[in-house]
């Protein structure tokens, strides 16, 4: 008995073999890309918040600082804060009253977005900010300046941080 392969059958057999070979490629280089690491975190999303004051100009009321959050990522979008500026006179007979040093203060509570605030907070880079107080009026005797500030997020507030 002689078998004759018809050309149509041969084409179907080759097509089936070709399809079977395509489905079993185990050496694929189609690895999924690594997850994208964020380069910053929003003030609304972070559950940790660290404040570091980098520069302070007491007479001008300027404070530069950085904010880091979860995973030490720079925090973006900060807008609510409290700051207390303090000025002290030079040491001497006029610097004390009742045995206590006198000082001048300028508190600023900028936690309510609808309220007036005597300071402007500007984000200069992700996690880097400059605060400029606009309502300071120091007495002439003031020579030494300090400030303490705290930044408020949706889930966390920094500990108060003093300038040097």
- Identify the pLDDT of residue 94: 63
Q: What 3-state class would DSSP assign to 74?
A: strand
Angle subtended at Cα 128 by Cα 125 and Cα 132, rounded to the nearest 5 degrees: 110
Q: What is the pLDDT along the chain (164 residues), one digit of tens a residue?
A: 555 566 666 565 556 655 555 555 555 677 888 877 789 999 999 999 999 999 999 999 999 999 999 999 999 999 999 999 999 888 776 666 666 677 899 999 999 988 899 999 999 999 999 999 998 999 998 999 999 999 999 999 999 999 98
User: Phi then psi for 95, rounded to 5 degrees?
Assistant: -90, -5
Alpha-carbon gap, residue 131 to 81, rounded angstroms: 10
Are 132 and 124 within 8 A, CB to CB?
no
Tokens standing for 70? Answer: 């979860």
Are 65 and 129 within 8 A, CB to CB?
yes
- Identify the pLDDT of residue 7: 62
- Report domain extents, the chain: 41-83+109-134+151-162
């Amino acid at each position: 008995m002689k078998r004759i392969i018809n050309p149509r059958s041969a084409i179907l057999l080759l097509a089936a073999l070709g399809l079977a070979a395509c489905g079993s490629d185990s050496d694929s280089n189609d690895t999924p890309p690594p997850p994208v690491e964020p380069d910053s975190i929003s003030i609304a999303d972070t559950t940790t918040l660290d404040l570091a004051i980098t520069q302070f100009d007491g007479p001008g009321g300027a404070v530069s600082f950085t904010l880091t959050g979860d995973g030490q990522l720079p925090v973006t979008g900060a807008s609510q804060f409290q700051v207390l500026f303090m000025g002290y006179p030079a040491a001497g007979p006029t610097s004390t009253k009742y045995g206590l040093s006198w000082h001048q203060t300028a508190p600023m509570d900028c936690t309510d977005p609808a309220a007036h605030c005597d300071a402007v907070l500007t984000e200069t880079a992700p996690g880097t900010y400059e605060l400029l107080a606009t309502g300071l009026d120091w007495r002439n005797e003031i020579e030494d300046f300090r400030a303490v500030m705290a930044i408020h997020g949706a889930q966390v507030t920094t500990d108060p941080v003093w300038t040097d």
